[in-house]
Amino acid sequence: MRPDAPTSTDDRGPIDHLVIVGNGMAAHRLVATLCDKPRAPRRITVIGVETSHAYNRILLSPWLAGEMQRDALCLPERAATTQTGTRIETRLGERVTAIDREARRVTTDRGASLDYDRLVLATGSRSAMPPVPGMTLDGVHGFRDLGDAEALARAARHGGRAVVIGGGLLGLEAAEGLRKRGMRVRVIQRSSRLMNRQLDATAAGLLRGELEARGLEVITDGHLSELEDNGQGRVRAVILADGTRLAADHVVIATGITPNVEPGRAAGLDCDRAIRVDEWLTTSDAAIHALGECCQFGSSTFGLVEPIWQQVEVLAARLAGEAGPGYRDHPTATKLKISGVSLYAFGPIEATPEHDELTYHDPEQGEYRRLLLRDGHIDGAVLYGDTAMGPWLFDRSQDGMQFGSARRALLLGQADTETLIDDQASAPQATDTLAQEAA
């Protein structure tokens, strides 16, 4: 054992060997965070089934749209030994197939067995495939990893027709990427509006108008019935429940995600939709943690990185034997990564009787803002067009700031927010003036 660097202990004793299953965004950040800790585990082994080094999955959308180079996706590579002496091994292209909890050992599809003192499951999710005929045909893609994105980019080289199933964030980003690469693209959305979980009808209408003007075709209230085989195992059309037949050379499924719980579930860990964890990201086995999209905290599962970064902080501190607060659920805001479209939303979409609803809409400029206020504080917001105030509004929503008479100024979107804060804190009359000016 290193004489100068005490081994991580936490409340279960020394951690000599930490094994992490998955080499995605959560795992990469966990290792980087641990490496800055003086009491990191002595050895860390990361096992990831993807063959590439860790990359920024979020950037697959702009990469598909041709807005960045492949190299820009890469996350920084780790040194084999950190400054604090932790040795790190990364095993790529290898899948963990079984966990023996009694022996504290994982086995992989290459026949390797690795003993662990502590295990972290960071296996993420995969694209959820609707249970309709034709999902395994050639030409049907998910949009989850680099392999998917590269396959879509290759497909787009030949032009042709693509149908994207799902008009949420991922579906729209995939659709716009393929359109920019020269395909004729249709988006099928089951709901009556795009991004129905984040946008109200007005914002969704503005978004649809913008995307249609670029050449995307959007079909709402469209229910997938089956994917038609061309007789040679390849997709040739999408059939909707109302009988509509849409010719397709490629189909992208973006209808949601399914957490990769299989190794944890097979090992008998307590699972629901994902692997259940407590506030310390510990599963029902105290020697096994889970974080990221494969874990479930209370009734929450995860699909955005913001809460996952908070999980990383909690777990890294725990694994390094540091005291600190446990994980708590926090709301997150949504942005769409389609260049030229600015959209920012958080909180509830539907107004309840307790909400005051404030809206500003300038159809000519394509500007729309809607705030839901409850008892004077911001409960939710949808911004389309000028979204510069989005993060500020989100922060004020989180700190519960009361807006009272100044609230209408919020809708201007160009309000001097510093003044607004100062005014709120010290000069209520000035905020009244601001509100009058805004009106």
Ligand X SMILES: Cc1cc2nc3c(=O)[nH]c(=O)nc-3n(C[C@H](O)[C@H](O)[C@H](O)COP(=O)(O)OP(=O)(O)OC[C@H]3O[C@@H](n4cnc5c(N)ncnc54)[C@H](O)[C@@H]3O)c2cc1C
Q: Which residues bind ligand X (CB under 6 A)?
A: 21-27, 47-50, 57-58, 60-61, 95-96, 122-124, 143-144, 170, 260, 263, 292-293, 303-306, 308, 337
Whole-number Å distance between alpha carbons of 194 and 188:
9
Minimum distance, C-beta of residue 47 to ligand X, in the bound complex (Å): 5
Matching residue, tokens 């249970």: 131
Shortest separation between residue 218's beta carbon and ligand X, angstroms: 19
CB of 57 to ligand X, least distance (A): 4
237 to 96, 139, 174, 179, 217: CA distances (angstroms): 36, 10, 18, 18, 16
Tokens encoding 292 = 């990221």
The residue among 22 and 134 lying less far from ligand X, judged by its C-beta, is 22
Compute the least distance from the CB of residue 198 to ligand X, in Å. Answer: 12
Which tokens go with 432? Answer: 């009244």
The residue with tokens 């040739």 is 236
What is the distance between the alpha carbons of residues 408 and 404, in angstroms, rounded to a whole number?
A: 9
**What's the closest the beta carbon of residue 170 comes to ligand X, in angstroms?**
6
- Minimal distance, residue 172 CB to ligand X, in Å: 11
Give me the residue label for tokens 């990191």: 40
The Cα–Cα gap between 93 and 179 comes to 31
CB of 22 to ligand X, least distance (A): 3
Nearest residue to ligand X by CB is: 24
Query: Which residues have C-beta within 8 Å of that of residue 31, sequence separation ≥ 6?
Result: 20, 44, 46, 78, 88
For residue 243, CA distances in Å to 223, 238, 239, 246, 342 come to 10, 10, 6, 10, 35
The whole-angstrom distance between residue 264's C-alpha and the CA centroid of its chain comes to 21
Q: Alpha carbon 402 to chain centroid distance?
A: 30
Residue 155 amino acid letter: A
Instruction: Look up residue 370 and give its amino acid.
Output: R
Query: Judged by CB, which is closer to ligand X: 203, or 406?
Result: 203
Min separation Cβ 88 and ligand X, Å: 16
Residue closer to ligand X by CB (options 149, 434) is 149
Nearer to ligand X, 117 or 173 (CB): 173
Smaller CB distance to ligand X: residue 224 or 308? Answer: 308
* Cβ 24 vs Cβ 51: under 8 Å: no
Residue placing its CB nearer to ligand X in the complex, 267 or 382: 267
Q: Which is nearer to ligand X, 151 or 240 (CB)?
A: 151
Residues 6+ apart with CB under 8 A from 219: 186, 187, 188, 189, 240, 244
